[in-house]
């Protein structure tokens, strides 16, 4: 059993150490398949972490929980009920709204009136656009659709841009991350095959180009249902399901050098997990020198990789929050 040190509010975390984050209040229960998003604060606040949806053996649910970093406490927002599984948040009024019917050609089997939507679909946002690629169809089989689908949140329209190069093969449980104006697709599962490839799509070139890069370094094994977050020019990947079971490894992909690095840690690691979520959190650190005559400096901020929930391959579902400093 892992015993991680607890990271208290405004503590300065050490490099290469995993911490447990233990807020006050009633947080989310055990969950997989949820989202985890950092929302910046107003008026110099520390911000919030928003957990939406998820599932456990009792079924799927649409509840939302907010970790208020100023109070280090869980809140259950008084939002209106979610409508099915498709909704967006109007943050100014705190009410969930289903947007008007979008126009254009929808992704994958969503187009068929009698078919269900894809699951384990990965997506990333760049500006006002949501990019969706591939996803699950039935069982371990992915959809056969190789098109990139783009949702414009301003015009509420879907379109499928023409791309050049060889796109990733169909898969689900992969990750899609955006770094600047480039999309990165990594890993995923198709039947019994775990993918380990990394693909890049340049979005702002006149002729969009997609392809698999010749990445170097200590590459992750084939993995699916992992989580990813970006900081600067790096993509960080944690956990997931491999051919050997769930993992708790953390990798960094340097997009400018096309190179993988396996991150090393001291002490215990979080439990192995898949179907978790994670985000980057600016963590404000307590500053010294606040006595009489001392010069007060600006608060120091470090960036944490914050992970919530997930499960292993033995039926254990997690509800913990763990974090580490991103190099």
Tens digits of residue pLDDT in 158-169: 999 999 899 999
Count of Cβ atoms closer than 10 Å to residue 293 Cβ: 5
Cα–Cα–Cα angle for 225, 231, 234, rounded to 5 degrees: 75
At residue 206, the pLDDT reads 46
More confident residue, 282 or 218: 282
Structure pTM?
0.86
pLDDT for the residue numbered 199: 95
The reported pLDDT for the residue numbered 213 is 56
Domain positions in the chain are: 19-76+104-325
Tens-place pLDDT, residues 270-309: 999 999 999 999 999 988 754 444 555 667 999 999 999 9
Mean pLDDT of 100-115: 50
Question: pLDDT tens, 11-23?
Answer: 999 999 999 999 9
Q: What is the DSSP string of 213-246?
A: ---EES---S-BS-EEEEETTEEEEEEEEETTEE
DSSP, collapsed to helix, strand or coil, labels residue 306 as strand
**Bigger pLDDT: 215 vs 84:** 215
Tell which wins on pLDDT, 88 or 78.
Answer: 78
Give percent above pLDDT 70 in the chain.
80
- At 108, is the secondary structure helix, strand, or coil? helix
Q: Is the pLDDT of residue 256 over 90?
A: yes
With contact defined as beta carbons under 8 Å apart, do 177 and 229 qualify? Answer: yes
Q: What percent of the chain has pLDDT over 90?
A: 68
Residue with tokens 């590459």: 219
Radius of gyration of the chain (CA): 20
Is 34's pLDDT higher than 50?
yes
197 and 168 Cβ atoms separated by less than 8 Å: yes
DSSP reduced 3-state for 130: strand
| Residue-wise pLDDT tens digits, 155-197 | 999 999 999 899 999 999 999 999 999 999 999 999 999 999 9
- State residue 115's pLDDT score: 32
Identify whether the C-beta of residue 26 lies closer than 8 Å to the C-beta of residue 50: no
pLDDT at 241: 98
Residue 208: pLDDT band with limits 50, 70, 90: very low
Arithmetic mean of pLDDT, 34-43: 93
Average pLDDT over the chain, rounded to whole?
85
Distances (CA, A) of 155 to 86, 132, 182: 17, 17, 22
pLDDT of residue 212: 60
What number of other Cβ atoms are within 10 A of residue 280's Cβ?
Answer: 16
Predicted local confidence at residue 122, as pLDDT = 74
| Residue pLDDT, tens place only, 114-143 | 233 444 457 899 999 999 998 888 888 998
Asked: is 19-76+104-325 a CATH 1.10.3470 domain? The reply is no
Mean pLDDT on 216-241: 96
Does 61 score more than 90 pLDDT? no
Average pLDDT over every residue of 223-240: 97
Contacts of 101 by beta carbon, 8 Å cutoff, 6+ apart: none
The pLDDT of residue 263 is 98
């Amino acid at each position: 059993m892992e015993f991680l040190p607890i990271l208290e509010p405004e503590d300065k975390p050490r490099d290469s150490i995993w911490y447990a984050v233990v807020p006050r209040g009633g947080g989310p229960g055990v969950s997989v398949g949820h989202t985890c998003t950092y929302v910046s604060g107003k008026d110099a606040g520390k911000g919030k972490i928003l957990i939406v949806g998820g599932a456990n053996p009792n079924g799927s649910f649409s509840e939302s929980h907010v970790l208020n970093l100023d109070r280090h406490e869980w809140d259950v927002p008084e939002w209106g009920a979610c409508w099915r599984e498709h909704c967006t948040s109007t943050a100014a009024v705190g009410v969930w709204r289903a947007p008007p019917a979008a126009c254009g050609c929808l992704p994958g089997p969503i187009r068929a009136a009698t078919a269900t939507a894809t699951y384990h679909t990965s997506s990333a946002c760049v500006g006002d656009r949501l990019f969706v690629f591939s996803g699950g169809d039935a069982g371990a089989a992915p959809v056969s659709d190789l098109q990139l689908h783009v949702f414009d949140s301003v015009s509420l329209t879907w379109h499928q841009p023409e791309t050049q190069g060889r796109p990733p093969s169909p898969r689900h449980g992969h990750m899609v991350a955006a770094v600047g104006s480039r999309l990165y697709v990594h890993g995923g599962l198709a039947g019994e095959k775990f993918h380990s490839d990394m693909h890049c799509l340049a979005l702002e070139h006149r002729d969009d180009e997609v392809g698999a890069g010749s990445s170097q370094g200590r590459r992750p094994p084939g993995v699916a249902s992992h989580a990813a977050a970006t900081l600067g020019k790096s993509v960080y990947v944690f956990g997931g399901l491999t051919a050997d079971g769930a993992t708790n490894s953390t990798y960094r992909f340097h997009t400018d050098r096309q190179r993988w690095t396996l991150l090393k840690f001291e002490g215990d690691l979080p439990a192995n997990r898949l179907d978790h979520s994670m985000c980057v959190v600016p963590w404000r650190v307590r500053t010294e020198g606040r006595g009489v005559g001392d010069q007060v400096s600006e608060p120091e901020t470090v960036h944490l990789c914050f992970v919530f929930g997930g499960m292993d391959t033995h039926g254990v579902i997690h509800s913990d929050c763990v974090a580490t400093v991103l190099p």
